[in-house]
Amino acid sequence: MTIGGQAVGYCRVSTDKQSGSDHYSLALQSEILKKMAVQHQTVLAAVFTDIASGSKKHRNGLSQLELAIEQSNVRFLFVYRLNRLARNLKLLLGIFELCQKNNVRIFSFMEPEITNTASGQLQLSMFGAVSQFERSLTLENQANALAEKKRQGDVISWQVPHGYIYRKKHAVVDPETAPVVHR
């Protein structure tokens, strides 16, 4: 159990779609962080949030978190998962270094505490590398799926050019507006 000092939390989802009521929602992550603060007998002073990719360094919530760590009496950082902080190994290591420099301990709900030891550094590097790999794999799968849809002639966007309408994954000539286009 941890006693003393204040805590901050950080929650992130990648898209607006995910910010709703699914199991990774910002609201659920925030509730878990509040429970973590109670468990550690500390005050959760603020919860910073972002709806952005974990591979991006420039996020408003992350910038506010970093500022709070540098300028406040923060002793603990609570996250649902380490990959909520970053899905980029270099960025995750930078956040951990900032926390170390300011004597802030990171607690993750889903992973063990990362300590300032050789084993802790290895653990952090492994979690970060896996997160970065998962992100790269997701991007690769998305690119492959889009290429296959394009190969099959499917419309990739719901927006079709003027003179066409969207029907069953395909752009078909709109008999009402197509004559205007062909003039």
**Alpha-carbon Rg for the chain in angstroms:** 22
Give the tens place of pLDDT for each residue, 108-133: 999 988 888 888 788 878 887 878 78
Mean pLDDT, the chain, whole residue set = 85
Q: With 90 as the cut, is the pLDDT of residue 162 above it? A: no
Q: With 90 as the cut, is the pLDDT of residue 7 above it? A: yes
Position 1 scores a pLDDT of 47
Confidence of residue 47 (pLDDT cuts 50, 70, 90): very high
Position 113 scores a pLDDT of 86
- Report the pLDDT averaged over residues 79-91: 93
- Report the pLDDT averaged over residues 39-53: 94
Q: With 50 as the cut, is the pLDDT of residue 135 above it? A: yes
Position 158 scores a pLDDT of 65
Position 19 scores a pLDDT of 53
Regarding beta strands 170-173 and 105-108, do their DSSP bridges make them parallel or antiparallel, or are they unpaired?
unpaired
The catalytic residue positions are 14
Q: With 70 as the cut, is the pLDDT of residue 22 above it? A: no
Give Cβ neighbours of residue 92 (< 8 Å, ≥ 6 apart). Answer: 82, 85, 86, 124, 127, 128, 131
Position 18 scores a pLDDT of 56
Give the tens place of pLDDT for each residue, 55-68: 889 999 999 999 99
> Which CATH number does 6-138 carry?
3.40.50.1390
CA quadruple 122, 138, 65, 80: dihedral, nearest 10: -70
List helix spans (H) across the chain.
Answer: 26-39, 60-71, 82-85, 89-101, 118-151, 178-181
Position 3 scores a pLDDT of 47
